[in-house]
């Protein structure tokens, strides 16, 4: 009985992790560059700069610091 409960919870966790991994929340520039490989590094950097400029008006510096993406 204990084995069945453990297996059930492991399967529930696996389904949750799979769904969480399939539905990711990243910026459009990040998705195009790293996931879809649809843009070059220069285009990615330019789009990130534009997103940062737009975000400066709506976010505080602390929020922007936590949300910055790694530039290659």
State how many domains the chain has: 1
Helix H segments across the chain?
2-22, 28-30, 41-56, 61-67
> Is residue 72 included in any domain, yes or no?
no
Phi, psi of 36 (to 5 degrees): -90, -15
Phi, psi of 61 (to 5 degrees): -65, -35
Q: Quick one: CA dihedral 32, 35, 39, 44, positive or negative?
A: positive
Whole-model pTM over 0.75: no
10-residue stretch averages of pLDDT, the chain, 72 residues long:
95 94 84 92 93 71 56 53
Range of the domain at 34: 2-67
> Is residue 14 included in any domain, yes or no?
yes
């Amino acid at each position: 009985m204990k084995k069945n409960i453990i297996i059930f919870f492991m399967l529930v966790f696996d389904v949750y992790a799979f769904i969480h991994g399939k539905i990711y929340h990243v910026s459009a520039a990040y998705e195009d560059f790293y996931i879809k490989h649809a843009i070059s590094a220069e285009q990615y950097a330019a789009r990130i700069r534009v997103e940062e400029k737009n975000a400066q008006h709506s976010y505080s510096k602390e929020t922007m610091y936590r949300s910055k993406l790694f530039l290659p």
